[in-house]
Chains A and B, each alone.
Chain A
């Protein structure tokens, strides 16, 4: 009798297939308990209340094509996409000379490409650093011009999405090595180094970004000789990179603390120098542990570029606001902010999905 229940040794059994059917699925997932049933009904009610009006506004009643503001102000008119048709180039590229818009467009493409290329782990290391440094040099050549027959464009005329991306990406490229140095310095055995790093980190974390930006734009010139002027964008960029390096340093320190003492001792016992030990053993493991908090930092940092508006730099947020102040097109806030929100969201969502994928990918085959 018992032999009936034994599967032949060479047959692998498949898991049983659940055959619920749509009704069964509904019952199992949406109505399996009282609280769940209430939540389901609430969700349905919300969808019924929200989706049709939004649909009407955005699509059915929307004003599209090259129409005037008057058409958008007609009673019963929905979203004014004509506003975006009119203004999208200004919002994306700001005051950059319109006949040269291909340059910032190419810059955006280049930065996005570099971001995607950076996702390939085989390039991590010096190759990636080289890609970014040359990439950023090309970005500046394209934006500023004055060489290879490209007309010169002063950085006071840069604006919109390329500027937002440049501020953010340069902030990451400058801020990351500073953050690593700060995190290492904070754990240094040299008291002076340690005190300096702790002092810097705590000082920066104790003030809001806005005040750092103000200091960078207003106070730094006070300390410089009268005939020396540093570009406003550069000042903002340095303040911004330093600000984020302090936060990033704390995230990285968390990773450093999680590395067991045995790893340091094994590296020491092989005769590795401090820098060999740090770069080959400690940092690779520590950074891997803190990918999620680091990406979290990058996302916050990307969105906080919008604060440079207060020192009069023409980022994406500022161009949208300026587009809104055109007397002919006053009042189309929803359309303008929705437009830039979609752009911000696209970048942040990409970063967040990538970090999730990376975490799963990195831990594969490396259980401890």
Chain B
């Protein structure tokens, strides 16, 4: 399975890089949020981004599917550079899945409709086929029995798993997670993390902003530490947690790991 996708993608663009950020800057008005980010994510890689509040983690991953616009430098996603070209943007977005802290399910649609909307309208897949695919992914996140309920009738953990299934239905080449568990009660965090771990084990390329350091340890290939709009340090999880090099990383880790 993974061999097939790799060969197709490889022949298309001839590069193993899913995401490439080259000296990328972003300002909110006068405020310089991201200051020259350089970062490469290879196919199948699992990145965890951490850092203090306000350091620009959300802004960074939101730039990757152009929910935010960068002003300088380059962002290349699966061979497509993000510019003002709207067609190109929609194309990148349909290849990039995103899971939000606040779930952002569509409350007026059932769980199943949430999952089939984009495949039907963006991918032009016939409804029956889209529903079958959606049920498959709802089974994978272990809530097929909720398919005909509305999001408002589900618990937070269930909603977040639906949100993951909704993204998966577009068969994305990369998934972005922005603090997917921080709006959840402790007993629901595990059910969402379990789904994410199984995704990782199947080889999904993932960039995940999270403070779940246990998840980072077991799943990540690389942990990136951000502070004040810069990437301060990145390393494999063992080195990152055991031998942090910069003082800022040490200070951050001592705070996070206390809990």
Contacts and interface: CB of A to CB of B under 8 A. Distances in A.
| A267, A268, A269, A281 — most chain B CB neighbours (10 Å) | A269
B166 A270 contact: yes
B152 A262 contact: no
B90 A273 contact: yes
Contacts of B150: 365-366
Interface string B134-175: 000000000000000010110000000000001100100000
A217 B209 CA distance: 63
Contacts of A226: none
Interface string B211-232: 0000000000000000000000
Contacts of B118: 270-272
B108 interface: yes
A269 B93 contact: yes
B90 A271 contact: yes
A123 to B, nearest CB: 17
Given A280-B117, A280-B121, A266 B106 contact: yes
B93 A367 contact: no
Contacts of A263: 104, 106
A284 interface: yes
B197 interface: no
18 contacts: A265-B104, A266-B100, A266-B104, A266-B105, A266-B106, A267-B106, A269-B65, A270-B93, A270-B170, A271-B122, A272-B117, A272-B122, A281-B106, A281-B117, A285-B107, A366-B150, A367-B152, A368-B107
A263 B106 CA distance: 7
B152 A368 contact: yes
B102 interface: yes
Contacts of B96: 269
Contacts of A273: 90, 122
Nearest to B117: A280
Nearest to A266: B104
Contact of B91 (A262, A268, A271, A276): A271
Interface in B171-224: none
A237 B94 CA distance: 44
Interface string B97-134: 11010101111100000000110011000000000000
Interface of A is mostly: helix
Interface string B26-67: 000000000000000000000000000000000000000111
B127 to A, nearest CB: 14
Given A365-B150, A368-B152, 20 more contacts: A262-B102, A265-B104, A266-B104, A266-B105, A267-B106, A269-B67, A269-B93, A270-B94, A270-B166, A270-B167, A271-B90, A271-B94, A271-B95, A271-B170, A272-B122, A273-B90, A281-B106, A284-B108, A366-B152, A368-B107
| A260, A266, A272 — most chain B CB neighbours (10 Å) | A266
A265 B107 contact: no
A288 interface: yes
Contact of A268 (B93, B102, B105, B117): B93
B161 to A, nearest CB: 15
B100 A265 contact: yes
A270 B105 CA distance: 12
Contacts of B98: 266, 269
A364 to B, nearest CB: 10
Contacts of A368: 107, 152
Contacts of A266: 98, 100, 104-106
Interface in A1-35: none
Nearest to B65: A269
Contacts of A281: 106, 117
A265 B67 contact: yes
Contacts of B153: 365, 367
A274 to B, nearest CB: 9
| A262, A265, A267, A270 — most chain B CB neighbours (10 Å) | A270
B110 to A, nearest CB: 10
Contact of A366 (B65, B90, B108, B167): B108
| B100, B105, B107 — most chain A CB neighbours (10 Å) | B107
Contact of A276 (B95, B100, B122, B152): B122
| B65, B94, B121 — most chain A CB neighbours (10 Å) | B121
Contact of B108 (A262, A269, A270, A285): A285
Interface string A272-302: 1100100011001100100000000000000
